[in-house]
Structure 1
Amino acid sequence: MCNVSTVDSRGGAKVGPLHGIRVLELGSFIAGPFAGQLLADYGAEIIKIEPPRAGDPMRRWGITKDGESLWWPAIGRNKKSVTVDLRGEEGQRLVRELAGSCDVVLENFRPGTMKRWGLDYETLSAANPGIVVVHVSGFGQTGPGAEQAGFGSVAEAVGGIRHTTGSPDDAPARAGISLGDSLASLFAVIGTLAALTERSTSGHGQEVDVAIYEAVFALMESTLADYHVGGVLRTRTGSVLPGVAPSNVYPAKDDAQVVIAANADTVFARLTEAMGRPELATDPRYATHQARGARAQELDALISAWTATLESDDLIGELQRHGVPVGRINTAASILTDGQFAARDMILWRRNGNGTELPMNGIVPKFSRTPGEVARTGPALGADTEAVLAEVAGAEQLARLRSDGVI
């Protein structure tokens, strides 16, 4: 069952910890809108500005059903869709006026675009000193690379993670998801929350500058020091970390695969008990971390020979009983039937605009008192245009703007 919380007077949604925060989301695709999704999950009011007629390309990206993306209901969830043509002066003026009542403006256009439109921080903060403007771009707002176009895939290469991903015998690999964009979104949310916290004492907003390549680079651990000081260039190592064993992917009898991480001495001893080979824990070839690391392939072969004799459920159960960290390599199919995901409300079933019931990821992290809720899937294009713009324009003006194609 879902957590129960206070009812939000804005429309029945469960109140999240960001209730009362108003965010103007500009931009498209993933890096900005996923940050908007997360802020919406936590209860912020998200006003998403989209181009009239076309909308965010995410409405059509990926797998579609009846012409609607199966991703859009999730990345657009809990948001209000307002159509405004930002390329013209009237549209820019409408958005400037909306920004006057917002806490945050979140954008992921190429640097310089906001300034050309009169939506830069200096202009917006003159009317609203507390506003926080969050920029997400490939290479940041400054520096010689700032004006380069930068998608997440390119930023993953520049930030260093592609060099370490995949098999050493193949070209650098990408993850099967938009990793760079999603990392930038996470840092955008962190930066937003930090700036709002600081504003509560200073009373002033500020700019938050998230570069996708830097979001990737922030995860690169000690690779610089390893190279510059230690003389080691970390590169692609497939499914293992050199010198850390056993920690790999192992086959089960039913063709499922599991990850076993038993590289600590005590955990390795528990693994050998589960295998019925307790003597391996004291064998000089495997008794220490260094010894196991030096014989990782040999040790993996021994473990694989054992795991392949057991069905995956039995294998996982046996290792769990012995306190050995183990996990199935899940697919979408197996996640849908996983009891842990269900118990923590990590699979939310909602209907999209076409009436199709579909599963989507739950809210992360969990809040004990203000959990938030997904009360609405990604809305139809322009579903909230009149309701929101009525704050800054009268009915006759809105009718004219719609007739002129501005909204």
Structure 2
Amino acid sequence: MRASARVLGTAGAPLAGVRVIEIASFVAVPLAGMTLAQLGAEVVRIDPVGGAADYRRWPVAEDGTSIYWTGLNKGKRSVVADLRAPGGQQLVQRLIADSGVLLTNMAGRQWLSFDTLCALRPDLIHLEVLGRADGSTAVDYTVNAAVGFPLVTGPSEYVAPINHVLPAWDVACGLHGALAVAAAVHRRERTGQGCQIRLALEDVALGTASALGFLTEAMVNGTRREPIGNAVYGQYGQSFTCSDGAVFMIVTLTDRHFRDLAELTGTTKVIAALVQARDIDFSDEGQRYRYRDVLSGLFSGWFAECTAAQVESALAGTSLLWDRYRSFAEVAADERLRGNAMFAALHQPGVGEYLAAGLPASIDGAHPPAVVAPELGADTGRVLAERLGMTPDDIDQLCQSGTVATD
């Protein structure tokens, strides 16, 4: 990785002037840090000598540069220090005290604890991401297994659990973390108070499962949710395969959607007869869900006789909610992505030039753009000089002793 990245938030950016130190690996905390950087904060990521555990994580480019690492660390500055030695720890503590905001998932380290650091910076905002609230370890994949989602994922006839490939709890945790820090910054500006934030990955998953009714359903109704394939629970939605093998996802949330699907597939009269014969009210979304297999059997014939192009043309004239299943390669080549204002060309050393997403939210009509990820340790000297007033000789001595490292 051969680039130095520094985000200088413009005066109008929501978090311009906020300084953040990030000491973490993997998804949740780096995503929180990158989100804060995209909102205008100046985020300095501190890694151990040689890089943290995620520095070479797959996928990688041809020269071994981690596409994963660069993707989650865009727009940050990079400092490398010996995090095991007292000298390196004390130096990092000084940087944290100067910045006033720390993001970390290095739980249990006394030198990074809220109480220790508050002695140096009383108004410190301290975000610590944990696996579980009791301090025990967990990662997205183990939390997902423990919360219940793999047992309701996949086809109904498949009895084994199925993990989804999206690290959903890591992503949600990172965004929860960024939100909590932004709120704490706002409170500090009003009151001068710091804030200790503890965020457990498992709690994010449990809170989400509760809010969406998965846990409440089991508590109140005593029922067990079963896997239903690509159907949409409580509504009518299903995937359909075309004559050329393309697969579409169709969702009906309203009476109009359902009527349009019946008209499109030429099943209006058959459905009317079914309604009369079985006394079904398909204006009730619960009834549409209950009879989903019957309905899918009626609709699937039309899709099986059409090509993807014919289906897309026909669906475009309806109110239906739909899209075709696409691979990542297809999405990457899609003109819709090139026309999306969130994406812009980015040259990432070691990776090459590609379309990179900036902040998903537009701020005052524009998406804050992606900024290249730094080379490991590229900003060590500059940060120590700017933040701690160190001279070149001071920094050289630290480098020679192994306390810090530069690119």
Q: Which moved more, 1:388-397 or 1:80-89?
A: 388-397
Does the 8 Å CA contact 1:243/1:296 hold for their aligned counterparts? no
Q: CA deviation at 1:15?
A: 5.9
After superposition, where does 1:101-250 map in structure 2 within 5 Å?
A: 101-109=98-106, 111-113=107-109, 115=110, 117=111, 119-140=112-133, 143=134, 146=135, 148-168=136-156, 169-220=158-209, 221-245=212-236, 247-250=237-240
Residue of structure 2 in register with 1:318 after alignment: 314
Q: CA deviation at 1:20?
A: 1.5
Would the alpha carbon gap of residues 380 and 227 (structure 1) be closer, same or farther in structure 2, given more than 3 Å must change? same
Aligned equivalents of 1:184, 1:217: Cα separation in 2: 11
Does the 8 Å CA contact 2:27/2:171 hold for their aligned counterparts? yes
Does the 8 Å CA contact 2:241/2:303 hold for their aligned counterparts? yes
Q: CA deviation at 1:13?
A: 7.3
Aligned equivalents of 1:23, 1:133: Cα separation in 2: 10
Residue of structure 2 in register with 1:381 after alignment: 376
- TM-score norm. by structure 2 comes to 0.88
Identity rate of aligned residues, in percent?
26
Q: CA deviation at 1:200?
A: 2.6
Aligned equivalents of 1:138, 1:296: Cα separation in 2: 38
Residue of structure 2 in register with 1:282 after alignment: 272
Letter in 2 for 1:72: W
- TM-score norm. by structure 1 comes to 0.88
Q: 1:34 pairs with 26, 31, 35, which one?
A: 31
Letter in 1 for 2:362: K
How many residues align? The count is 387
Does the 8 Å CA contact 2:22/2:104 hold for their aligned counterparts? yes
Q: CA deviation at 1:151?
A: 1.6
Q: Deviations over 1:314-369 (max 9, x none)?
A: 32332231111111222212212334333323444322222622343342122225
Q: Which moved more, 1:214-223 or 1:42-51?
A: 214-223
Would the alpha carbon gap of residues 303 and 90 (structure 1) be closer, same or farther in structure 2, given more than 3 Å must change? same
1:88 aligns with 2:77: no
Residue of structure 2 in register with 1:258 after alignment: 248
Would the alpha carbon gap of residues 41 and 253 (structure 1) be closer, same or farther in structure 2, given more than 3 Å must change? farther
Does the 8 Å CA contact 2:267/2:299 hold for their aligned counterparts? no
Q: Find the residue that maps to 1:100 and give its secondary structure.
A: helix
Q: CA deviation at 1:263?
A: 4.5
Q: CA deviation at 1:138?
A: 0.5
Aligned equivalents of 1:374, 1:15: Cα separation in 2: 17
Does the 8 Å CA contact 2:358/2:368 hold for their aligned counterparts? no
CA RMSD in angstroms comes to 2.3
Aligned equivalents of 1:190, 1:12: Cα separation in 2: 18
Letter in 2 for 1:23: V
Does the 8 Å CA contact 1:240/1:248 hold for their aligned counterparts? yes
Letter in 1 for 2:218: Y
Aligned equivalents of 2:116, 2:27: Cα separation in 1: 26
Aligned equivalents of 2:382, 2:90: Cα separation in 1: 17
Aligned equivalents of 1:104, 1:149: Cα separation in 2: 24
Q: Deviations over 1:103-142 (max 9, x none)?
A: 4200011x311x2x2x2212322332332111111113xx
Does the 8 Å CA contact 1:24/1:48 hold for their aligned counterparts? yes
Aligned equivalents of 2:24, 2:351: Cα separation in 1: 27
Letter in 1 for 2:318: H
Unaligned runs of 5+ in 1: 1-8
Q: Find the residue that maps to 1:155 and give its secondary structure.
A: helix
Aligned equivalents of 1:151, 1:360: Cα separation in 2: 27
Q: Find the residue that maps to 2:138 and give its secondary structure.
A: coil
Letter in 2 for 1:266: R
Q: CA deviation at 1:57?
A: 3.2
Aligned equivalents of 1:291, 1:16: Cα separation in 2: 49
Would the alpha carbon gap of residues 235 and 204 (structure 1) be closer, same or farther in structure 2, given more than 3 Å must change? farther
Aligned equivalents of 2:126, 2:150: Cα separation in 1: 30
Does the 8 Å CA contact 1:159/1:214 hold for their aligned counterparts? no
Does the 8 Å CA contact 1:270/1:323 hold for their aligned counterparts? yes
Letter in 2 for 1:30: V
Which portions of structure 1, spanning 4 or more consecutive aligned residues, are displaced by more than 4 angstroms? 9-15
Residue of structure 2 in register with 1:4 after alignment: none
Residue of structure 1 in register with 2:331 after alignment: 335
Q: Find the residue that maps to 1:62 and give its secondary structure.
A: coil
Q: Which moved more, 1:236-245 or 1:248-257?
A: 236-245
Aligned equivalents of 2:226, 2:150: Cα separation in 1: 9
Letter in 1 for 2:347: R
Aligned equivalents of 2:247, 2:89: Cα separation in 1: 53
**Structure having the larger proportion of residues in helix:** 2
Aligned equivalents of 1:404, 1:242: Cα separation in 2: 60
Does the 8 Å CA contact 1:77/1:378 hold for their aligned counterparts? yes
Does the 8 Å CA contact 2:358/2:369 hold for their aligned counterparts? no
Aligned equivalents of 2:78, 2:116: Cα separation in 1: 24
Would the alpha carbon gap of residues 56 and 370 (structure 1) be closer, same or farther in structure 2, given more than 3 Å must change? farther
Does the 8 Å CA contact 1:13/1:372 hold for their aligned counterparts? no
Q: CA deviation at 1:281?
A: 5.4
Does the 8 Å CA contact 2:342/2:367 hold for their aligned counterparts? no
Residue of structure 1 in register with 2:257 after alignment: 267
Q: Deviations over 1:37-61 (max 9, x none)?
A: 2212222111000111x21333311
Letter in 2 for 1:215: V
